[in-house]
Amino acid sequence: VTKMKKLGNDIFYNQNITIKNIPSKAFEYKINGKSAIDWIIDRYQISIDKKSLIENNPNDYQGGKYIYELLLKIIDLSIKSVDLINEISKMECE
Closest CA to 26 of 82, 70, 88, 85: 82
Distances (CA, A) of 42 to 32, 36, 47, 68, 86: 14, 10, 11, 14, 27
Instruction: Judge whether 22 and 10 are in contact, CB under 8 Å.
Output: yes
pTM: 0.84
- Judged against a pLDDT cut of 70, whether residue 87 lies above it is answered with yes
pLDDT of the residue at 59: 84
Distances (CA, A) of 11 to 3, 37, 64, 68: 11, 10, 17, 11
pLDDT of the residue at 91: 85
pLDDT tens column, 10-69: 999 999 999 999 999 999 999 999 999 999 999 998 889 999 999 988 888 877 789 999
